[in-house]
Amino acid sequence: MRKSVVSALIVSSMALAGCTSSSGVDGLMMQAGTSAETTGSVVRPSVPVAAAEPAPQQTAPDSPSLAWAGPVPQAAQFNAAPPAVVPQPAQRPQNVVEKPIKVSASQMSAYPVRRLSRETRHKIYAHRFRDAKPINFGKASPLRHPVHGVDVSRWQGNIDWARLRTQGANFAFIKATDGGDHLDPMFMKNWHAADAAGIKRGAYHFFYWCRYASHQADWFIRNVPKDPNALPPVIDVEWNGDSSCKRRLSREQVLEKMQVFMDRLEKHYGKRPIIYTTPDFYRDNLEGAFLDYPFWLRAVKEHPSKVYKGRRWLFWQYSGSGLSHGVNEKIDLNVFYGSEHDWHRWLARVTG
């Protein structure tokens, strides 16, 4: 550890700055060369670790976005527990507290919340999306998968969820939180409207590498309702060059922080989190790790089997340039691994 005078200076800086942003106390800890947290060992996926975190350890600075990626398993294998970037816009805000977007009465009337009938709520709608930049995946086309869905954030603006549902959005992952102090201003509106339209929805958190994992988990829990009918929560782990946090942790530190975050969410929501990731981040940190966690993989140029060799997956994000009635901006397109029967069986396991 550093000498006491350094600690005194850090505490003084914290008091002056208020320590309210993602670059606050955690940023100071990083600059001081102190590890944010550890779990005591790297990853123990088969036995979730306790939510409590031991005292920080000193580390040296490092150098500065779900699936079985192999043969399609048989139906019997699908019963096994499923072992993941949401593209961030170039100018996405980082680590700031934003006020919710004010929606006028005219805007609200243009996108009414329409609750569908019980029969319609459980129907699987076929894919009707278009793509501004289509990719030919050949025989591995995502169209082979019957259950399609989307992921959204504030950047899609106001969404007509009932109409989007009929275009093939059977599920939706909705951006909720970022770091330890950012809440997507459209989250609560999207959360309730998607549910009213009969879409199975879950929330995702964009992980920030210069914040305590425990603080981020608490922030997510504070803002995302505990709904037994919701899909499992998602941790979005990737390297993001637009982030104000430029520090790249070691693989060991990455896995430690992820474990702390996921253990807290699993304890609170009673559901094992889904890991969303990108090719470069996976290559640097996740290959061979978290084998009994479900993965949601980004692969927009090739099938996941070629990008994440040997990795089982649950969801595949195959496009970041989707087009659909019901939303004016481009939207991310995804598929669930398995048949309609597999989808309903999985839902029965993870929802109330």
Q: Give pTM, 2 decimals.
A: 0.71
Dihedrals φ, ψ of 322, to 5°?
A: -70, 150
Domain residue limits at 329: 75-350
Q: Contact, 170 vs 125, CB < 8 A?
A: yes
Q: Please tell me the distance from the alpha carbon of residue 282 to that of residue 288, in angstroms, as a whole number.
A: 9
Q: Contact, 255 vs 42, CB < 8 A?
A: yes
Number of independent structural domains in the chain: 1
Q: What is the pLDDT of residue 335?
A: 98
The pLDDT tens digits of the residues spanning 284-319 come to 999 999 999 999 999 999 999 999 999 999 999 999
Percent over 70 (pLDDT), the chain: 66
Question: Torsion over CA of 313, 279, 274 and 43, rounded to 10 degrees?
Answer: 100
Higher-confidence residue of 91 and 204: namely 204
Q: What is the pLDDT of residue 116?
A: 52
Q: Which residues contact 238 (CB under 8 A, 6 or more apart)?
A: 65, 85, 276, 277, 278, 280, 281
CATH number at residue 116: 3.20.20.80
Sorting pLDDT into bands at 50, 70 and 90, what band is 242? Answer: confident
Q: What is the pLDDT of residue 180?
A: 95
Residue at 19 is within a domain: no
Sorting pLDDT into bands at 50, 70 and 90, what band is 68? Answer: very low
Sorting pLDDT into bands at 50, 70 and 90, what band is 344? Answer: very high
Q: What is the pLDDT of residue 120?
A: 52
Position 211 pLDDT exceeds 70: yes
Residue at 126 is within a domain: yes
Q: Contact, 195 vs 115, CB < 8 A?
A: no
Residue at 42 is within a domain: no
Q: What is the pLDDT of residue 71?
A: 39
**In this structure, is the dihedral angle defined by the CA atoms of residues 132, 343, 266 and 39, taken in order, positive or negative?**
negative
Higher-confidence residue of 71 and 320: namely 320
Residue at 185 is within a domain: yes
Q: Among 26, 37, 53, 151, which one carries the catalytic annotation?
A: 151
Of the listed ranges 59-68, 116-125, 208-217, the least confidently predicted one is 59-68
Residue at 340 is within a domain: yes
Residue at 317 is within a domain: yes
Residue at 63 is within a domain: no
Q: What is the pLDDT of residue 34?
A: 38
The pLDDT tens digits of the residues spanning 96-130 come to 444 444 444 544 444 455 555 544 557 999 999 99
Instruction: Respond yes or no: is residue 151 known to be catalytic.
Output: yes
What are the contacts of 105-110 at 24+ separation with CB within 8 A? 107/158, 110/158
Q: Among 26, 160, 238, 332, which one carries the catalytic annotation?
A: 238
Residue at 36 is within a domain: no
